[in-house]
Amino acid sequence: MEEKKNQIMRILGSRPIQNAALVLLTAVVIGLTAAVIALLTLNAAFEEKVPFRMEQISASDVVDASDIGEHFLPSFIGIRAKGEQKGISSGYNVVCDVYSVFSHVLFDVLGGNFREVAEERFEGGAAEQSFVYMKYHSEVPYQTISVCAGGGEEAYETAVGVYELFILPDKGFRILVRSMDGKAYEFDGTYEPYFTVDALAELLQSYQRNFADFVFSADSLFEPCFTERVRTKGMLVTEKTAALIQNRDNHISDILRLFTFNPDKLNTHEESDIGYVYVENHGVLRLLDDSVEYTAASSDGGISVNSYLMTYGKKGYTLADYIGTACLIADKVKALSPHYAGGDGEILLHSAETDEEGVLTLRFMYTFDNLPLSGCEPAMEVRFADGRMLAFRLYSVSVRNLGTQQNSLMESWYRDVALSCCPSGEYIVDIRQVYPVDFYAESIDAEWAAVYGRIVKETAGRTRK
């Protein structure tokens, strides 16, 4: 080491001019680095004091093609493999990646045969040596999960609702599902090698920094409960961002064409304190401060789904077609400006319901990092019938990722408090992390929240409405 040091010193001593230049260059670099660090520190301090401004919003690029799978995710994924049991709820990109691993088995098995089973059979899934457990943001028809996993061509029905499910790789990939009213069903497996238990263990290892330990609660809820603190991101949200559209003539023209309006042949007028109203033969489009709304001129009018899917001449439409159309419109609007449709937040499918007249209503919600925005109107509501879109409403807010992180309270502690404070005659429907919307707050952190419901009857499992 001493010899090497002496060699370096000899080289330095033999090149005085070069050495002087090197020293000068080093000093300049150090000075510039210090200046940059000081500037970044100043900017960080400045941004903490400055209220939220629209131009500070950041968001990832929106691709032109719409993938319905990115608009439908579970609120929780739990995995047991090789003696480890870990779960994840926050982290939109990671949840997308993990959920996509199970898309093929969900699409294939949930499209097959099923039978009703006892609720205890469903809860028995937690006793298996290996499993994948999922809980969704709300109860949805099982066909919704299937088509969003694979974009299938199944006709939509609403016979069996799914709120949570188990995938059992050791039992031929059978899937157990349960609805919010406690009804449980078992779907036959296919014995296809979708993945191995070793692959599940490798998945947990790959995303070990994103997963956290969890157990199924010992109370009547039988729900996943984190046993360690989980990290979430800070954010803030601005309302009435659709008002920005009214100042962009090119965006107005793009939105008019998106709803098949001809900008050159319109009956247009401005309503005081409301926004702009555009009238065509097939319907009315309103560009308001807080929303973009379309209403068909009549029950047999509206906009053909073919206009979005480019499947002219097709007869019969599937749930995938309708969900794809709604997601495509949302993506197109967000591509114009992220501010119009969530900013750094996501628009996820929340429910799919069909009424007695065959009208399908799709409701979407805003989330940030896969955690719901609580106290916020539905992000989007779209109605379809007979291959036509009858109504559309996009509620416009913009979420900004602040780039901060914090550790949550222990869920097990919050669960004990929530159960002890449960009003008489009611029960806890769900406990999850949410972002409580406050349009005037300079920062919003995720919080644990309990949803209560009124008891009507009790079952051997959890207490039901």
What does the mean pLDDT of the chain come to?
82
d(CA 204, CA 144): 27
Residue 108, amino acid: D
Instruction: Write down the pLDDT at residue 30.
Output: 56
Question: Residue 399 pairs with which residues in a beta bridge?
Answer: 237, 343
Q: Give mean pLDDT, residues 424-438.
A: 87
Residue 153 in this model has a pLDDT that exceeds 60: no
* Confidence category of residue 380, pLDDT binned at 50, 70, 90: very high
- Write out pLDDT tens, residues 225-258: 999 999 999 999 999 999 999 889 999 999 999 9
> How many whole angstroms from its chain centre is CA 35?
40
DSSP three-state, residue 29: helix
Residue 151 in this model has a pLDDT that exceeds 70: no
Instruction: Write down the pLDDT at residue 309.
Output: 84
Q: Read out DSSP for 409-465?
A: PPHHHHHHHHHHTPPTTEEEEEEEEEEE--TT-S-B--EEEEEEEE-SEE-SSSEE-
> How many whole angstroms from its chain centre is CA 310?
27
Chosen CATH of 239-401 out of 3.20.10.10, 3.30.310.160, 3.20.20.80, 3.30.70.1230 = 3.30.310.160
Closest CA to 329 of 84, 62, 35, 53: 62
d(CA 422, CA 443): 29
Q: Give mean pLDDT, residues 419-438.
A: 86
Residue 168 tokens read as 């059992």
Cβ-Cβ contacts under 8 Å for 252 (sequence gap 6 or more): 245, 246, 263, 276, 287
Strand bridging mode 426-436 / 371-374: parallel
Sign of CA dihedral 326, 329, 335, 336: negative
List the single range of 296-300, 334-338, 393-397 with lowest mean pLDDT.
296-300
Residue 455 in this model has a pLDDT that exceeds 50: yes
Residue 183 tokens read as 């009804």
Cβ-Cβ contacts under 8 Å for 239 (sequence gap 6 or more): 290, 396, 397, 439
Q: Give mean pLDDT, residues 368-386.
A: 96
**Is 128 buried (19+), middle (13-18) or exposed (0-12) by CB count in 10 A?**
middle
Detail the DSSP E strand segments found in 240-370. Answer: 267-271, 275-279, 283-288, 291-296, 303-304, 342-343, 346-354, 360-368
Residue 92 in this model has a pLDDT that exceeds 50: yes
Instruction: Write down the pLDDT at residue 89.
Output: 96
- Write out pLDDT tens, residues 179-230: 988 899 999 987 788 899 999 999 999 999 999 999 998 766 688 999 999 9
Q: Read out DSSP for 3-14?
A: HHHHHHHHHHHT
Q: Give mean pLDDT, residues 333-343.
A: 97
Instruction: Write down the pLDDT at residue 313.
Output: 58
Contact criterion met (CB below 8 Å) for 114 and 176: no
d(CA 465, CA 458): 8
Question: Residue 231 pairs with which residues in a beta bridge?
Answer: 407
Instruction: Write down the pLDDT at residue 416.
Output: 85
Residue 118 in this model has a pLDDT that exceeds 70: yes
d(CA 462, CA 271): 51
DSSP three-state, residue 35: helix
Domain assignments of the chain as residue spans, ordered by start: 69-228, 239-401, 416-464
d(CA 24, CA 29): 9
- Helices 142-150, 319-336: inter-axial angle, 10-degree rounding: 60
Cβ-Cβ contacts under 8 Å for 91 (sequence gap 6 or more): 210, 369, 370
Residue 209 tokens read as 């920094």
Which residue in the block uniquely carries the two structure tokens 């009956």?
267
Percent of the chain with pLDDT over 70: 79
Closest CA to 455 of 421, 425, 419: 425
Strand bridging mode 360-368 / 346-354: antiparallel
Which of residues 74 and 413 earns the better pLDDT score? Answer: 74
Instruction: Write down the pLDDT at residue 63.
Output: 32
Closest CA to 351 of 65, 111, 76, 145: 145
* Confidence category of residue 427, pLDDT binned at 50, 70, 90: confident
Residue 87 in this model has a pLDDT that exceeds 50: yes
Kindly provide the b/e burial profile for residues 53-75, where b requires at least 16 CB atoms within 10 angstroms of the residue's own CB.
eeeebebeebeeebebbbbbbbb
Instruction: Write down the pLDDT at residue 243.
Output: 93
Instruction: Write down the pLDDT at residue 440.
Output: 95
Instruction: Write down the pLDDT at residue 54.
Output: 30
Residue 62 in this model has a pLDDT that exceeds 60: no
